[in-house]
């Protein structure tokens, strides 16, 4: 059984939980999803982590009370081989952890660099990440939500559908990686633009794969976590 933590700071957390459940069904893996809310929730029994997208400044502020970000970063320092998927604001936090910590992604990133919210867009992204293929996405029950909890975002059916020719990239007030001084592998591109980097076991993308039914990034995470667990 794999244990995968999701940083429950803010943003698209429940969408990642659904994507992980879908990916685990597609792969036939047994996965426990751990909602990490406090520093102590992030312990060495976790095999992988997801840092969702949302708003990185809000996340840094939300983290102050329970020191969750420090817990996540400490875990990443302690377990460099265990995989982490950071999407959008999550990638910002990995590239710029702050407080004098070394970056977890060897890439410079600029926040909100496509422009304002109205410059958000969808585009087909080329992906060269090795993840097991599946014939069709598996349906999963949406997570139960009460009226106080986060509601899932609406995305267009075009973005939600798995497309064969490329990855359906949903860019929401997205950051941009710099091509200069890159010390990681570019695994996702939009024309000349690098939109996803892999640095060892750390994967950061500037778009939102959890808002689509193409779960290859989540399948990558679960597969990488399994391989690392076997090797440890
Ligand atoms: N603009 C956000 C930030 O700077 C990131 C946007 C996102 O995660 N979709 O944190």
Identify the domain containing residue 220 by its residue range.
2-231
Q: Contact at 8 Å (CB) between 5 and 42?
A: yes
Q: Model's pTM, two decimal places?
A: 0.93
* CATH number of the domain where residue 182 is located: 3.40.50.880
Furthest CA-CA distance within the chain: 46
| Average confidence (pLDDT) per 10 residues, the chain, 232 residues | 93 89 94 94 97 92 89 97 97 95 96 88 92 83 63 63 75 94 95 96 96 93 97 94
Best mutation site among 58, 61, 89 for ligand 1, i.e. most ligand atoms within 8 A of its Cβ?
89
- Coil, helix or strand for 15? helix
Q: Residue 164: what pLDDT? A: 60
Residues serving a catalytic function are 88, 208, 210
- Coil, helix or strand for 5? strand
Beta-strand relationship, 31-36 and 2-7: parallel
Q: Contact at 8 Å (CB) between 56 and 69?
A: no
Q: Look at the chain and report how many structural domains it folds into.
A: 1
| DSSP E strands, 18-172 | 31-36, 48-51, 84-87, 109-110, 121-127, 167-171
Buried b (16+ CB within 10 A) or exposed e, 13-42: bbbbbbbbbbbbbbbebebebbebbebebb
Mention every residue, 6+ apart, whose C-beta is less than 8 A from residue 151.
Answer: 145
Which residues does a 6 A CB cutoff place in the pocket of ligand 1? 53-56, 88-89, 92, 111-112, 172-175
């Amino acid at each position: 059984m794999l244990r995968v933590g999701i940083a429950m700071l803010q943003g698209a957390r429940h969408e990642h939980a659904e994507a992980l459940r879908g990916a685990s069904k597609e792969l036939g893996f047994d996965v426990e999803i751990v909602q990490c809310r406090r520093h102590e929730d992030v312990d060495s029994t976790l095999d992988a982590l997801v840092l969702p997208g949302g708003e990185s400044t809000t996340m840094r502020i939300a983290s102050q009370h329970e020191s969750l970000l420090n817990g996540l970063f400490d875990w990443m320092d302690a377990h460099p081989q265990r995989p982490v998927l950071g999407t959008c604001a999550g990638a910002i936090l990995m590239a710029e952890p702050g407080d004098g910590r070394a970056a977890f992604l060897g890439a410079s990133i600029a926040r909100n660099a496509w422009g304002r919210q109205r410059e958000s867009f969808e585009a087909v992204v080329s992906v060269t990440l090795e993840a097991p293929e599946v014939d069709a996405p598996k349906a999963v029950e949406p997570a139960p939500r009460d009226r106080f909890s986060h509601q899932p975002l609406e995305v267009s059916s075009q973005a939600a559908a798995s497309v064969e020719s490329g990855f359906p990239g949903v860019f929401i007030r997205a950051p941009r990686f710099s091509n200069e001084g890159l010390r990681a592998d570019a695994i996702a591109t939009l024309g000349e633009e690098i939109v996803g980097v892999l640095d060892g076991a750390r994967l950061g993308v500037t778009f939102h794969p959890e808002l689509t039914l193409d779960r290859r990034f989540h399948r990558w995470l679960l597969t990488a976590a399994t391989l690392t667990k076997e090797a440890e």
